[in-house]
Amino acid sequence: MKKLLVSSILVIISLTAMAQKGNIRGFVYDKSNGEPIIFTNLMLEGTSYGAATDLNGYFTISNVPHGKYVLVVKYIGYAEQRLDVQVSNTTTHLRIELEPTTQMLGSITIDAKREQAQIQSNVSIEKISPKEIYQLPSIGGQADLAQYLQVLPGVIFSGDQGGQLYIRGGSAIQNKVLLDGMVIYNPFHSIGLFSVFETDIIRNADIYSGGFNAQYGGRISSIMDITTKDGNKKYTEGKVAVSTFGANLFLEGPIIKETEQRKYSLSYILSAKNSYLSYTSDNIYSYIDGTLPYDFLDLYGKATLATTNGSKINLFGFNFTDQVKGYKSIADFNWANSGMGANFVLLPGMSSALIEGIFAYSDYTINMKDNAASNTSNIGSFNAGLNTTNFYGKNQLKFGIEAVGSTTRTSYNSYDTLVDYSTEIGAYTIFKGFWKKLLYEPSLRFIYYASLGEASLEPRLSLKLNVTEKFRLKFATGMYSQTFIDTKSDRDIVNLFTGYLTASPDLNIVTTFKGDSLTQYLEKSNHFIFGLEWDLARNLSLNMEAYYKTMNQLVSVNRDRYYADDLDHSNKPDYMKKEYVVEDGVAYGGDVSLKYEDGRLYVWTIYSLGWVQRENEILTYYPHYDRRHNINVLASYQFGLSRSWEVSLRWNYGSGFPYTPTRGMGENLTLQDGISSDIVYANGNLTTYYGELNSKRLPDYHRLDFSLKKRWQIGKRGVLEANLSVTNVYNRNNLFYYDRVTGTRINQLPIMPSIGINFSF
């Protein structure tokens, strides 16, 4: 009886102890404009209880014993704030506003980043803010995400004109781009210096080069998740910029301000940017052989309805267009991408859970016309998702559902239009936990490709071991799948056109590979990544990663098609007569980055070493984007008493891409009349005879860019900035392509100086 009584008392004490704990949750905002501040560090002084804000500025500190505490809130560029908080049985909700300050201590900066590094896995991810983008030389006076992406570890960029991004051995179609949760099908303009995203609207961009968790699906290589700002809730501000390349306009401000009586606010963002190079290049860059016919116009708008407790809904829309008219041997080319959507963040009751949702629709059309053919491709798609995140102390559990539907219509090389429908339904769960010095994040994604009747179960895992405060080991692995393919051939010297298709039996595709029957056409990959982070000194950090990626059932255009797929050739193997074939691939290599940062000087050096191989029925070869060595050096320095001067340099080196040499040219007589054809006077078609696939290498690529900025403070909020930039400072003749017919060499962009001016208010 005594034992039972003692046991009961112990159980009651334990339950009482568990009950004597509470939660602190809330949001952290910039006091000057009401914008959420991401990655803010919060700590209960004298304890191990703390948290960091997410992309919404949200934080939660769970399972805190009852009592009085001092909450310390600090973030780079803001005055530290200390708050007295009382933790009880009810959840304590806080709305914290930090005051911007010009005093930035190097020790605070480094300590904050070190704390973040210890609680985030950070495997193969770069978190980018406008601050980092503006540190890069601003080509044409316009700082742009596309220019920054080219610097990142593992990223290969194929050229200044019509360039594409290839990330750790994956093709461009294997990269998924999200803008506020909406899928964007072409984020880069034909002149490879600019993206569709105006820098001033970006809050954060997460670039995953591999090993991403189960929240993301439908691509097997990389993810670019871009989040925009909500709009100034306090006052109207904006920027006007003009340069020799183009012009920008940005506005944000309140429509309805929050007051003590009105517990909500409504704000907006509007942005527009365009290029008028086709008009200015005749005069300013007249030394270039031909004009630069690159014109684009990007429009974006967003409205945010936010409540005092942090819940909000965003409505957004965009229209991005790109146009190239008759550039030498490149055809007339244009594309347009438009869409609209809504997302929301909901903080229910007094729970510490966070609910987020998205619904969006976009339409993308691309056209190319030359003397040989008229090609067009359209994809209309919607995506919808709902997820919730629950917090248990430092641990987190997130689960969600997602649906994606699309219709593709593609006419390629004047063939009949191919129409296909695709639907993906996914569910995922992610757990983030801590055990002593180990951070572990297992996740699982289930995708059902309804249009194909195929399902894919994809486990993923990331780990980080905080060996010391300054030295950390990390690892990630996962399985991935996708159905989207493109119509590009490895033999295209230059091809701006990308037709979108869905891999399915409806295509004229092989039914066997390496003697095995194909029952489904999901493209799949497996990622294995190992790395380390080392804070070598207060202002110096080292990051190293090695990766190995397998890729299976990659569907591509058949470059070895010799026969028509008809009864006369029924005895020929599929890979010699089908329009599309299946290949396997492997990519492996490593990246090393060394970063130095103090108050004035920023230096980032990146070296990437990589191999990419593809295997088909005939041979193993290197695809056209296989670059063995890639080096980027970025340096930025602010000088003057008020740091109003800034000079930036960026140097890029890349070893040569593979290409297929021309073995010869000849006339191909069709002999349509059979033995009655007149072989003496008949006119045939000029035919190219190719050498071994990608057996040669183009010359090495290297380029130095320079930028100089000067800022003047005008009034309380006004800033006038003048900038001078020079692209390709030492005028390196980097090869763009050779015209196989004429043998003419076409180079990338020559030296291109530009000046610009912008006014922020």
CB 34 within 8 A of CB 232: yes
pLDDT at 559 over 90: no
- pLDDT tens string 6-62: 444 444 344 444 457 888 888 999 888 888 988 888 888 888 888 888 888 888 888
The residues that bridge with 342 in the sheet, in sequence order, are: 315, 359
SS3 call for 342: strand
CB 735 within 8 A of CB 680: no
Q: Hey, what are 707's tokens?
A: 């930028």
Please tell me the predicted confidence (pLDDT) of residue 280: 80
666 band by pLDDT with thresholds 50, 70 and 90: confident
Please tell me the predicted confidence (pLDDT) of residue 10: 42
Question: What global pTM score does this model have?
Answer: 0.90
> Higher pLDDT residue, 491 or 170?
170
SS3 call for 326: coil
Provide the 10 A C-beta neighbour count for residue 16: 9
Please provide residue 174's backbone torsions phi and psi, each rounded to the nearest 5 degrees: -90, 5
Average confidence (pLDDT) over 741-751: 82
Please provide residue 4's backbone torsions phi and psi, each rounded to the nearest 5 degrees: -65, -40
CB 219 within 8 A of CB 212: no
> Which of 82-109 are b and which e, b meaning 16 or more Cβ less than 10 Å from the residue's Cβ?
eeebebeeebbbbebebeeeeeeeeebb
Instruction: Return d(Cα 425, Cα 449) in angstroms, integer.
Output: 7
Please tell me the predicted confidence (pLDDT) of residue 758: 92
Beta strands in 519-640, from DSSP E residues, in sequence order: 523-537, 540-557, 580-597, 601-615, 620-621, 629-639
**What is the C-alpha R_g of the chain?**
28
Average confidence (pLDDT) over 354-375: 87
- Helix, strand and coil content of the chain, in percent to the nearest 5, comes to 10, 55, 35
Which of 748, 752, 744 minimizes the C-alpha distance to 727?
752
Average confidence (pLDDT) over 275-281: 82
SS3 call for 590: strand
> Which of 249-276 are b and which e, b meaning 16 or more Cβ less than 10 Å from the residue's Cβ?
bbbbbbeeebeeeeeebbbbbbbbbbbb
Domain chopping of the chain, boundaries: 20-104, 125-660+695-760, 661-694
Please tell me the predicted confidence (pLDDT) of residue 581: 92
- pLDDT tens string 480-515: 999 988 887 766 656 677 888 888 888 889 999 988
Cα dist from 740 to 564, 634, 661, whole Å:
26, 36, 9
Please tell me the predicted confidence (pLDDT) of residue 599: 79
Instruction: Return d(Cα 40, Cα 677) in angstroms, integer.
Output: 79
Cα dist from 229 to 57, 179, 251, 301, 340, whole Å:
11, 11, 12, 11, 16
90 band by pLDDT with thresholds 50, 70 and 90: confident
- pLDDT tens string 595-654: 999 878 999 999 999 999 999 998 999 998 999 999 999 999 999 888 899 999 999 999
CB 388 within 8 A of CB 353: yes
Instruction: Return d(Cα 460, Cα 476) in angstroms, integer.
Output: 8
Q: Hey, what are 179's tokens?
A: 């803008």
Torsion angle of C-alpha atoms 494, 500, 506, 509, degrees rounded to 10: 30
Please tell me the predicted confidence (pLDDT) of residue 404: 95
Q: Is 658 exposed, middle or buried (0-12, 13-18, 19+ CB in 10 A)?
A: buried
pLDDT at 329 over 70: no
Q: Hey, what are 21's tokens?
A: 């704990």
pLDDT at 741 over 90: no
Instruction: Return d(Cα 154, Cα 150) in angstroms, integer.
Output: 9
Q: Is 587 exposed, middle or buried (0-12, 13-18, 19+ CB in 10 A)?
A: buried
pLDDT at 693 over 70: yes
Please tell me the predicted confidence (pLDDT) of residue 393: 78
Please tell me the predicted confidence (pLDDT) of residue 415: 64
Sign of CA dihedral 549, 552, 554, 560: positive
Please tell me the predicted confidence (pLDDT) of residue 202: 94
Percent of the chain with pLDDT over 90: 47
Please tell me the predicted confidence (pLDDT) of residue 13: 40
- At 213, the amino acid letter reads N
Torsion angle of C-alpha atoms 571, 576, 578, 579, degrees rounded to 10: -160
Cα dist from 44 to 318, 664, 684, whole Å:
42, 74, 81
Architecture of domain 20-104: Sandwich (2.60)
Q: Hey, what are 738's tokens?
A: 């050779």
pLDDT at 378 over 50: yes
Sign of CA dihedral 52, 57, 62, 65: positive
CB 76 within 8 A of CB 104: yes
∠ Cα 636 638 639 (to 5°): 140
> Which of 620-640 are b and which e, b meaning 16 or more Cβ less than 10 Å from the residue's Cβ?
ebbbbbbbbebebbbbbebee
Instruction: Return d(Cα 378, Cα 335) in angstroms, integer.
Output: 10
Average confidence (pLDDT) over 266-282: 89
Least reliable range by pLDDT among 248-262, 419-433, 684-698, 702-716: 684-698
Please tell me the predicted confidence (pLDDT) of residue 380: 93
Percent of the chain with pLDDT over 70: 90
Please tell me the predicted confidence (pLDDT) of residue 277: 81
> Higher pLDDT residue, 211 or 117?
211
- Looking at domain 125-660+695-760, its CATH class is mainly beta
Residues whose CB is less than 8 angstroms from the CB of residue 423 and which lie 6 or more positions away in sequence, other chains included: 403, 404, 405, 406, 449, 450, 451
Please tell me the predicted confidence (pLDDT) of residue 680: 61
Residues whose CB is less than 8 angstroms from the CB of residue 239 and which lie 6 or more positions away in sequence, other chains included: 200, 248, 249, 250, 758, 759, 760, 761
- pLDDT tens string 446-461: 999 998 889 999 999 9
Please tell me the predicted confidence (pLDDT) of residue 14: 43
Sheet holding 41-44, edge to edge: 50-52, 41-44, 67-74, 81-87
Instruction: Return d(Cα 299, Cα 317) in angstroms, integer.
Output: 8
The CB-based long-range contact list for 673-680 (8 Å cut-off, 24+ gap) reads: none
Q: Is 436 left (phi over 0), alpha (psi -120 to 50) or beta?
A: left
pLDDT at 106 over 50: no
The CB-based long-range contact list for 640-647 (8 Å cut-off, 24+ gap) reads: 642/713, 643/600, 644/710, 644/711, 644/712, 644/713, 645/708, 645/709, 645/710, 645/711, 646/707, 646/708, 646/709, 646/711, 647/706, 647/707, 647/708, 647/709
Which of 56, 61, 50, 54 minimizes the C-alpha distance to 25?
61
- pLDDT tens string 301-313: 999 999 988 899 9
Average confidence (pLDDT) over 242-250: 91
107 band by pLDDT with thresholds 50, 70 and 90: very low
pLDDT at 174 over 60: yes
Please tell me the predicted confidence (pLDDT) of residue 705: 94
CB 255 within 8 A of CB 232: no
Which of 479, 605, 480, 475 minimizes the C-alpha distance to 153?
605
> Higher pLDDT residue, 684 or 482?
482
Please tell me the predicted confidence (pLDDT) of residue 490: 64
Instruction: Return d(Cα 379, Cα 307) in angstroms, integer.
Output: 36
CB 622 within 8 A of CB 612: yes
Please provide residue 149's backbone torsions phi and psi, each rounded to the nearest 5 degrees: -60, -30
Mean of the per-residue pLDDT values of the chain:
86
